[in-house]
């Protein structure tokens, strides 16, 4: 009799410990959920975001998370004092803005900000995430429209080819800033999910870039992600010139040495081409519209 009682209470005790454990894990994982960093735009956009947040790995607390190394800064980061006119770093998601922010912080020792509150970025390398005024070098935004533009006096528009940007955003939404989408995600709903994703993202890519190109009235500096990759040093210099910060030669050299950083996805080839011929045709059309606008409105630095 006594034995059964002890066993009963042991089971109850273990159950309680188990439930508390699950609760703690759930709270921790909720706390760690990043801002999606995509507020305006269409409802299609947010539908994708909420879909991509579904629990792919079963319980929310058990999503495997890669441990990210700490950033090794060339110097301690500080705020700009006194504050200066606010510069936008406008880009479509997946165009390399985190990497450019990283390079700018390394090269100048100043923080960069954002109109979002990405918890993961704030904790690791971008403590001024969510600061959106002239006390930071540039302010990241993926937004468009009059309200998104009105607080900025200058803008850097970072443009990446739509196919690459869309795929990077697809990876980010399911794998985070450095992870990847699993190959079978492209086949979800018999490929419809990916197809809708490409179509709606391409519309967003065009609208966002065209809006900043045509409707932002302040000085605008257009750079291409591909150019930032192939000639990092030169492109970074043009950006620093444009935002008019003095460049310390030592810091700049250090930034170039550490240009890789920790926020770049390593290349990982899929063993199939996710873009159909139809997708490629519309991507090409969209890209041409934006490039035509770039060359007619602003003169970007030589490619």
Ligand X SMILES: *[C@@H]1O[C@H](CO)[C@@H](O)[C@H](O)[C@H]1NC(C)=O
Interacting residues toward ligand X by CB under 6 A: 83, 131, 133, 135, 145-147, 151, 211, 214-215
| Closer to ligand X by Cβ: residue 149 or 172 | 149
| Closer to ligand X by Cβ: residue 123 or 192 | 123
| Closer to ligand X by Cβ: residue 39 or 187 | 39
| Closer to ligand X by Cβ: residue 208 or 239 | 208
Query: What is the DSSP track for the chain?
Result: -HHHHHHHHHHHHHHHHHHHHHHHHHHHHHHTPPP-S--SS-HHHHHHHHHHTS-TTSSGGG---PPPPPP--SS--B--SS----EEEEE-TTSSHHHHHHHHHHHHSB--EESS--HHHHHTT-TTTT--STTSS-EEE---SHHHHTT-SEEEEEE--HHHHHHHHHHHHHHTTT----GGGGGGGGGHHHHHHHHHHHHHHHHHHHHHHHH--S-EEEEEHHHHHHTHHHHHHHHHHHHT----HHHHHHHHHTTT-S-SPPP---SS----HHHHHHHHHHHHHHHHHHHHH--PPP-
In the complex, least distance from residue 116 CB atom to ligand X, rounded to whole angstroms: 11
In the complex, least distance from residue 75 CB atom to ligand X, rounded to whole angstroms: 21
| Closer to ligand X by Cβ: residue 5 or 147 | 147
In the complex, least distance from residue 114 CB atom to ligand X, rounded to whole angstroms: 11
In the complex, least distance from residue 151 CB atom to ligand X, rounded to whole angstroms: 4
In the complex, least distance from residue 144 CB atom to ligand X, rounded to whole angstroms: 6
| Closer to ligand X by Cβ: residue 147 or 303 | 147
SS (H, E, C) 53-89: CCCCCCCHHHCCCCCCCCCCCCCCCECCCCCCCCEEE
Distances (CA, A) of 241 to 81, 104, 237, 245: 19, 12, 6, 7
In the complex, least distance from residue 90 CB atom to ligand X, rounded to whole angstroms: 13
C-alpha–C-alpha distance, residues 242 and 249, integer Å = 17
| Closer to ligand X by Cβ: residue 138 or 228 | 138
Strand partners, 158: 91, 223
In the complex, least distance from residue 214 CB atom to ligand X, rounded to whole angstroms: 4
| Closer to ligand X by Cβ: residue 90 or 228 | 90
In the complex, least distance from residue 22 CB atom to ligand X, rounded to whole angstroms: 36
């Amino acid at each position: 009799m006594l034995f059964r009682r002890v066993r009963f209470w042991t089971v109850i005790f273990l159950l309680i410990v188990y439930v508390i454990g699950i609760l703690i894990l759930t709270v921790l994982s909720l706390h760690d959920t990043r801002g999606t960093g995509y507020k305006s735009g269409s409802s299609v956009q947010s539908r994708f975001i909420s879909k991509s947040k579904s629990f792919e790995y079963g319980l929310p607390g058990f999503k495997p998370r890669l441990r990210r190394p700490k950033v090794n800064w060339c110097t301690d980061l500080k705020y700009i004092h006194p504050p200066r006119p606010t510069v936008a770093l406008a880009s479509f998601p997946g165009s390399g803005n985190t990497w450019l922010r990283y390079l700018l912080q390394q090269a100048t020792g100043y923080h960069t900000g954002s109109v979002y509150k990405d918890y993961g970025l704030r904790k690791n390398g971008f403590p001024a995430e969510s600061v959106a005024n002239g006390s930071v070098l540039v302010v990241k935004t993926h937004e468009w429209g009059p309200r998104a533009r009105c607080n900025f006096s200058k803008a850097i528009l970072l443009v990446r080819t739509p196919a690459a940007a869309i795929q990077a955003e697809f990876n980010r939404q399911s794998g985070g800033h450095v992870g990847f989408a699993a190959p079978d995600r492209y086949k979800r709903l018999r490929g419809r999910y990916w197809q809708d994703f490409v179509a709606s993202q391409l519309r967003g890519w065009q609208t966002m870039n065209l809006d900043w190109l045509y409707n932002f009235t302040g000085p605008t500096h257009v750079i291409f992600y591909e150019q930032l990759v192939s000639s990092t040093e030169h492109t970074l210099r043009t950006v620093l010139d444009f935002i008019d910060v003095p460049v310390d030669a030592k810091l700049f050299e250090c930034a170039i040495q550490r240009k890789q950083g920790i926020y770049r996805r390593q290349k990982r080839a899929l063993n199939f081409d996710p873009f159909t011929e139809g997708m490629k045709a519309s991507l090409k059309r969209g890209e041409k519209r934006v490039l035509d606008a770039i060359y007619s409105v602003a003169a970007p630095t030589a490619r």
